[in-house]
Amino acid sequence: MTLHDAPLAGVFPHADAARWRKIVEHALKGAAFDQLISKTYDGIAIDPLYARARAPGPRALRANAGRWTILARVDHADLDAANRLALDDLEGGADGLHIVFAGAQGAYGGGLTDDSDEAIAHLFENIRLDYGIPAAIEFSPRAPNAAGAMIRLLDRAHIEPSIARVAFGFDPLGAQALHGFLPTPWQEHAKAFAEQVKSAAKAGLTFGTMTADARVIHAAGGAEAQELGFALAAALCYLRALDDAGTGLETARGLLSFRLAADADEFVGVAKFRALRHLWARVEASCKLTPAPIHIHAETAWRMMTRRDPWGNLLRATLAAFAAAIGGADAVTVLPFTQALGAPDAFARRLARDTQLVLEEEAHIHVVEDPVSGAGGFEALTEALCERAWSVFQEIEAEGGLAAALAKGSLQARVAETAARRARAVARAREAIVGVNQFPDIGEAAVAVLAPYDATRLTALAPADARRSPPLAPRRLAEPFERLRDRSDVRLAEQGVRPRVFLANLGSVAAFTQRANFAKNFFEAGGVEAVNGEEAKSPSAIVAAFRASGAKLACLCGSDADYGRSAEQMARELTEAGARVYLAGRPGELEARLRTAGVAEFIYEGCDMLDVLQRAVKEAA
């Protein structure tokens, strides 16, 4: 008998939940089992282990089986560059283009600024729309001519519109959520919106003519159920507008598509995309329609992008793209890793599309449809997310629909409350961002972009008589820490040195190394350069090293035993030498004595890192 013939499964004892629980409790050494249970911002509990689903839910399948569509962003304001980059992306493996104008939800400090007929023709020069290359055009109030210009371009080129896969994605309520205005009250605007959609459909452009785009909720810090509830409410508003304008629901739903953000939370991300299909099928059934496949466009999330250590964005984008693909997205746009810095160059764009090409052509993750079907954890999370999102949707409907909820500002207030909780988690590094609040690289080299980030591209001017509502404010989670790092860079440029903290190491190297490394990462996340003290034999040697470092801050680093022996004396001497003294670790019973000795702050995992660093930067100036 060979190894391959051996019944290996019979060699090991049968595993069951009770046996696993016993092993886990032994490993916890008396700690509460509940610490292994995490919760999403919607309050959904995620257990550490799930049994296989006994009754798997409905399959969450793409509208078309097989590969998803790889889209490349086109957002450079220079039309020559935009056209050249678009052609490079298509030749390099992208299936289609994602056209972003300034003022669109996905502008992110970039975006096209000219929507004239000539500009649209220049943008699509040598791009074979007659081959069916997908072109998803984001709706923007700053590009009112884009749809008409595109229709006229196809007409001049004698391209049959039904062949061209151009999606206009009309989305006035998404724009209202972002910018805080509608040109006219929704009752009036809905009629104009319906006529726009009907006009495009009459011209033969029925692919994604209108889009329920919920990325604004995600970018503003909202939770997954809020994002899904917004998408459902927007889509239903649009169906009602088309129905009131004489377009039947059956025809109207065929003009609709959805767009969601995908972030690095893989498990919740997969569940979110699966949940949208289940939820929309429920809406269709409520409308007496037989559920039909929907088209979902995913874009890797803006809020997870960083300007600091942007290389980490590659890992986050890979996780996000994987989650979207596994969750059944029909098209995916990966933000280039330098998007938060400015207009990405050809290299950054290549990495963005290659991320998806590797997942498709090498990992083959598209081969199995809905691969998590039947997996206990994913089925449970999908079901729980459906329940939460349906409650959010019903809440919006009870307020009179999405337009009314936006006008009241109630939806924005709920998103803001979630965003505040998320910001607190980031400030305490409970929501870790590698390269920002975890493992920062204070000496990182600059990364090139074609043009700088332009905040004016985010905005849209409201007409004088517009109906205003509170806007949602998209923001990246890393921004508060990045502002501190920016101040440090200014200090370095002006004075040749960053703010500094001296790490006063107590005891042996083995005793202080762990907390010294923690302190270094902690302070450098705020741009305060850590000067690591050597193993010192006496307090006087530590004080001398502090004076030589040029730092105004000092942080005691050592074991609990060393703190008990020498932290008080060391804190007194460093304070007398002019230092503002910190201590790495929880002080426990020593806190009162250490504070009396001069320790001003204690830093430890879970403390308000951002708050401490904001004060530290001021003290170190």
DSSP state of 67: P
What pLDDT, on the 0 to 100 scale, is given for residue 46? Answer: 92
Q: DSSP 3-state helix, strand, coil percentages of the chain (rounded to 5)?
A: 50, 10, 40
Please report the pLDDT score of residue 600 as a whole number: 96
SS3 372: coil
pLDDT value of position 25: 86
In angstroms, rounded to a whole number, what is the distance separating the alpha carbons of residues 225 and 441?
35
Give exposure, 290-327, as e/b (b: 16+ Cβ within 10 Å): eeeebbbbbbbbbbbbbbbbbebbbebbbbbbbbbbbb
Q: How far is the C-alpha of 17 from the C-alpha of 33, rounded, in Å?
A: 14
Reduced to 3 states (helix: H, G, I; strand: E, B; else coil), residue 181 is: strand
In which residue are the tokens 């107590």 written? 506
Per-residue pLDDT tens digits for 559-586: 999 999 999 999 999 999 999 999 999 9
In 3D space, the residue among 503, 543, 505, 539 whose CA is nearest the CA of residue 523 turns out to be 503
- Per-residue confidence (pLDDT) for residue 534, from 0 to 100: 81
pLDDT at 574: 97
pLDDT digits (tens, 9 = 90+) for 479-523: 999 999 999 999 999 999 999 999 999 999 999 999 999 999 999
Give the bridge partners for 356, in sequence order.
Answer: none
Cα dihedral 498, 504, 510, 516 sign: negative
Please tell me the predicted confidence (pLDDT) of residue 5.
58
| pLDDT surpassing 90 at residue 606 | yes
- Spatial neighbors of 258 by CB under 8 A, at least 6 apart, are 211, 212, 213, 214, 231, 235, 276, 280, 294, 295, 296, 297
Per the confidence metrics, is the pTM higher than 0.85?
yes
Angle at the Cα of 203 from the Cα atoms of 110 and 170, rounded to 5 degrees: 35
Closest CA to 282 of 327, 331, 235: 235
Quote the pLDDT of residue 6.
Answer: 57
What is the number of other CB atoms lying within 10 angstroms of the CB of residue 249?
Answer: 15
Mean pLDDT confidence for 596-610: 97
- The answer to whether 365 and 67 are in contact (CB under 8 A) is no
Answer yes or no: is pLDDT of 411 > 90.
yes
What Å distances lie between residue 307 and 88, 106, 304, 482, CA to CA?
25, 17, 10, 7
Six token digits for residue 289: 């329609």
Can you tell me the distance from the alpha carbon of 485 to that of 524, in angstroms, rounded to the nearest whole number?
Answer: 8
- Residues 237 and 258: their CA atoms lie apart, in Å, by 13
Provide CATH code, domain 480-620: 3.40.50.280
* CA distance readout (Å), 31 to 22, 34, 208, 605: 13, 9, 52, 18
Query: Based on the number of CB atoms within 10 Å of its own CB, is 328 exposed (0-12), middle (13-18) or buried (19 or more)?
Result: buried
| 242 CB burial (10 A radius; 0-12, 13-18, 19+) | buried
Q: Give the C-alpha distances (Å, rounded to integers) separating 581 from 218, 357, 415, 535.
A: 39, 51, 39, 18
CA angle 224, 228, 233 (to 5 degrees): 145
- Yes or no: say if 470 and 412 are a contact pair by the CB < 8 Å rule: yes
Among residues 534, 526, 528, the alpha carbon closest in space to that of 551 is found at 528
pLDDT in tens, 266-306: 999 999 999 999 999 999 999 999 999 999 999 999 999 99
Which H or E run includes 300?
A: strand 296-300
- Place 22 in a pLDDT band, splitting at 50, 70 and 90: confident
Nearest to 554 by CA among 584, 589, 582: 582
CATH architecture of the domain formed by 69-427: Alpha-Beta Barrel (3.20)
Per-residue pLDDT, 2:
53
Segment 542-558 mean pLDDT? 95
Average pLDDT of the residues of the chain: 94
Smallest CA-to-CA distance from 142 within 110, 98, 97 is with 110
Residue pLDDT, tens place only, 326-370: 999 999 999 999 999 999 999 999 999 999 999 999 999 999 888
- CA 584/CA 553 separation, integer angstroms: 13
The answer to whether 69-427 and 480-620 have equal CATH topology is no
Predicted local confidence at residue 127, as pLDDT: 96
Predicted local distance difference test score (pLDDT) of residue 10: 64
Is the pLDDT assigned to residue 1 strictly greater than 60?
A: no
Judged against a pLDDT cut of 70, whether residue 4 lies above it is answered with no
User: In what side-by-side order are the strands of the sheet with 580-584?
Assistant: 529-532, 500-505, 553-557, 580-584, 599-603
Higher-confidence residue of 126 and 16: namely: 126
Q: For the segment 190-238, what is each residue's pLDDT rounded down to a tens digit?
A: 999 999 999 999 999 999 999 999 999 999 999 999 999 999 999 999 9
pLDDT (average), residues 55-65: 80
Of 45-59, 291-305, 449-463, the range with the lowest mean pLDDT is 45-59
pLDDT (average), residues 402-423 = 97
Whether the pLDDT of residue 538 is over 90: the answer is: no
Domains of the chain by residue range: 69-427, 480-620
Instruction: With cut-offs at 50, 70 and 90, classify the pLDDT of residue 8.
Output: low
